[in-house]
Amino acid sequence: MSDYGDDLYEHGSDGAYMDAVVREHAREYGRENPNLAYINTPWDTWEPNPFYQGEPQPHPESDC
């Protein structure tokens, strides 16, 4: 299994399952949008894009 939870059904709790779902969404959206440093998920979270290769970017909600 990868770091991003390929098998969503192996997680033991609802929280772990949702965490895996959020990361999976970020991974798939990030694969198609490698220019984005962060992915805004439908669950209103910002996840780092594992496919982003540019300069480090501040978190979208930071005050930088």
Q: How is the chain split into domains, by residue range?
A: 8-48
* Nearest-angstrom CA–CA distance, 48 and 2: 16
Q: How large is the average pLDDT for residues 26-51?
A: 96
* Rg of the chain (C-alpha set): 13
Nearest in space to 19 (alpha carbons), one of 47, 39, 56? 47
Q: What is the pLDDT of residue 10?
A: 57
Confidence of residue 1 (pLDDT cuts 50, 70, 90): very low
Residue pair 22/41 in contact (Cβ under 8 Å)? The answer is yes
Predicted confidence at residue 12, as pLDDT, reads 65
3-state secondary structure of 48: strand
Note the pLDDT tens digit of each residue in 5-14. 555 555 567 8
Indicate whether 34 pLDDT > 50: yes
Which pair of tokens denotes residue 11? Answer: 């997680």
